[in-house]
Amino acid sequence: MYPFQIKTKEAYHKSYQQSIEDPETFWASVANHFQWKKKWDKVLEWNFNEPNVKWFSGAKLNITENCLDRHLEKNANTPAILWESNDPEEHHRVLTYKELHFKVMQFANVLKSNGVKKGDRICIYMGMIPELAIATLACARIGAIHSVIFGGFSAQAIADRLQDASAEFIITCDGAFRGAKDIPLKSVIDDALVGNKTVKRVIVCTRTRTPVSMIKGRDVWWEDEIKKVETLGNPDCPAEIMDAEDILFILYTSGSTGKPKGVVHSTAGYMVWTNYTFVNVFQYQPAQVHFCTADIGWITGHSYIVYGPLSAGATTLMFEGIPTWPDAGRFWEIVDKYKVDILYTAPTAIRSLMGFGLDYIKGKDLSSLKVLGSVGEPINEEAWNWFHKNIGKGKCPIVDTWWQTETGGIMISNMANVTPAKPSFATLPLPGIQPCLMDENGKEIEGKNVSGNLCIKAPWPGMIRTTYGDHDRCKQTYFSAYENKYFTGDGCLRDAEGNYRITGRVDDVLNVSGHRIGTAEVENAINMHAGVIESAVVGYPHDIKGQGIYAYVIHDGSHGDPNLTKQDILQTVSRIIGPIAKPDKIQFVPGLPKTRSGKIMRRILRKIAEGDTGNLGDTSTLLDPSLVDVIKDGKIN
């Protein structure tokens, strides 16, 4: 079924070797198994200095033909999407490949009739309903560039992203259900659009029946627009012919500066990479049910709910809700109900469910499970063991998949039942991936049992092409720290067998519940509060979230009750970024430890937040060393 699916450890080593020795032949042989309108002239052209990376140049294709049309002959009635509501009582939905194909074409026609053209940017801000996948694929069908924004981001965050991408269209819902909450998505969009000059049309899909205000000439209902195209008769929407390197989507992610960047992925390479990694890492077999618990608003959802599984003709399960509502048995109930084969989730979810005890697993039949997966942050051994024993019943391999928004798909991971797992290690690079560890002086660290900054030496098909509208930023962020290498921002260790263990970010980026949050972004948001003079944000170990957000704030005393101010600061961060970026702890401080040149010594703040105050290192270069004791004494536990 999948000619390039690797079946044994030996075959892995052989493929790996081939992929490094002759990448062009290797990837051409993989790419041959996709549907092209025209094949490539050249498999790979690259230079990391500009950077300029082109895979399959000259090729013409449409990714939706690979995700939909090509499955119709044999698998028209295979379920493409299984959808489970937030509400366990609401009937689930099944969309076969035939139905999904139909709905994507239908909505693609809606987009066209609303004036969307190839290359236009469309922002999608929806909850986890099948229409989100339909909207995403409909954009790809006509060559429009989607920019999906997670439903937890605030109006301000959306406004910034709309502006950065100069988006002209928005697809949203009246609201979204998440656990006991009902999030008024359309109303958030309305706030984001105050002062916006580029957006011409907002298409609103009905979900929650939350009252919304529809602005004349700008806002239309999804359902009405569908009816309009229906009356035109022909539901077909031929796939736009795209160049291999045409942009497929933009996805915003945080970095070490205050402004999120639009990571750009192109069409052919991303398709080949998500499909190849999906089929190999999870060892997907036809008719299996794949359940990735991420939201499509993040890269994990793009690659392993939508494009990877659908391009492989798989059945992908979309879940609207959250793991702990109505109770902490929700995932297990879903596994039982749909006989899930592959469960791909995040360590933070596992740790949180662990805390609820084993009662929620009792009576749930998990025997359909064959493969478990983890992504987003290092999985600690305790969570690994719990997952392995209680969910996998000791017989399911766990794939620990390391990758990033920028890498498009999984980079370092064991492959289920093919290469061995090692708890807390992502283990081995996939074919095509050449990791290396670098020291501070830009020298590669060779050998075993060593650690350094993780870089990648050569291009892979799914890699970032640029940061939208600012190519130089892409170069500075990823290709300038080390010559001729892609810098991941992660620290990493390599053991005696060549297994890699990611040790966490080495830049000012936090990983909170598997979400990337830049400290500078949170600081900017905090500083917007009228009662704040200055702030510094660091991470600290958090039992469930992996990292928590610790904020040191210089508070303007004239603004009254400090406890109220703390609440107000949280409110401000929610408003500027979204609730996911709210600090877990706020400490008011009289000053921040700075060097004589005015640089904040974050190292010291990090140590204090971590509770590791025994050895703060050299504090003699501080402008005011006595400040450190004051901050230590005021630490929030």
Minimum distance from residue 423 beta carbon to ligand WT7 (Å): 12
492 closest CA partner among 501, 483, 480, 505:
501
- Which residues have CB under 8 Å from 12's CB, separation 6+? 6, 415, 418, 419, 428, 431
With CB under 6 A as the rule, give the number of residues binding ligand WT7. Answer: 22
Question: Running DSSP on this structure, what letter comes out for residue 581?
Answer: G
Among 19, 109, 275, 300, binds ligand WT7 (CB under 6 A): 300
499 counts as binding ligand WT7 under rule CB under 6 A: no
CB 400 within 8 A of CB 412: no
Among 19, 86, 109, 401, binds ligand WT7 (CB under 6 A): 401
The letter for the amino acid at 104 is: V
User: What track of x and - describes contact with ligand WT7 for positions 424 through 463 (by CB under 6 A)?
Assistant: --x-------------------------------------
Among 127, 255, 308, 376, binds ligand WT7 (CB under 6 A): 376
489 counts as binding ligand WT7 under rule CB under 6 A: yes
297 counts as binding ligand WT7 under rule CB under 6 A: no
519 counts as binding ligand WT7 under rule CB under 6 A: no
Q: What Å distances lie between residue 479 and 47, 261, 465, 535, CA to CA?
A: 10, 15, 11, 30
Among 377, 508, 521, 523, binds ligand WT7 (CB under 6 A): 377
490 counts as binding ligand WT7 under rule CB under 6 A: yes
Among 75, 96, 405, 414, binds ligand WT7 (CB under 6 A): 405
311 counts as binding ligand WT7 under rule CB under 6 A: no
400 counts as binding ligand WT7 under rule CB under 6 A: yes
378 counts as binding ligand WT7 under rule CB under 6 A: yes
User: What track of x and - describes contact with ligand WT7 for positions 240 through 279 (by CB under 6 A)?
Assistant: -------------x--------------------------
Q: From CA 256, how far away is CA 519, in angstroms rounded?
A: 7
By beta-carbon proximity to ligand WT7, the closer residue of 158 and 299 is 299
Q: Are strands 398-401 and 435-438 parallel, antiparallel or unpaired?
A: unpaired
SS (H, E, C) 44-102: EEEECCCCEEEEEECCEECHHHHHCHHHHHHHCCCEEEEEECCCCCCCCEEEEHHHHHH
Minimum distance from residue 504 beta carbon to ligand WT7 (Å): 6
Minimum distance from residue 514 beta carbon to ligand WT7 (Å): 6
CB 175 within 8 A of CB 207: yes
508 counts as binding ligand WT7 under rule CB under 6 A: no
Among 403, 460, 500, 550, binds ligand WT7 (CB under 6 A): 403
Minimum distance from residue 462 beta carbon to ligand WT7 (Å): 11
Radius of gyration of the chain (CA): 24
Q: From CA 629, how far away is CA 620, in angstroms rounded?
A: 13
By beta-carbon proximity to ligand WT7, the closer residue of 345 and 405 is 405
Q: Are strands 176-178 and 145-148 parallel, antiparallel or unpaired?
A: unpaired
607 counts as binding ligand WT7 under rule CB under 6 A: no
| Cβ burial 238-257 (10 Å sphere, 16+ → b, else e) | ebbebbbbbbbbbbbbbbeb
**Ramachandran angles phi, psi of 171, nearest 5°:** -120, 125
By beta-carbon proximity to ligand WT7, the closer residue of 265 and 529 is 265
* Residue recorded with tokens 């350094």: 452
CB 519 within 8 A of CB 509: yes
The site for ligand WT7 (CB under 6 A) is made up of 253, 299-300, 375-378, 400-405, 426, 488-490, 502, 505, 511, 514, 516
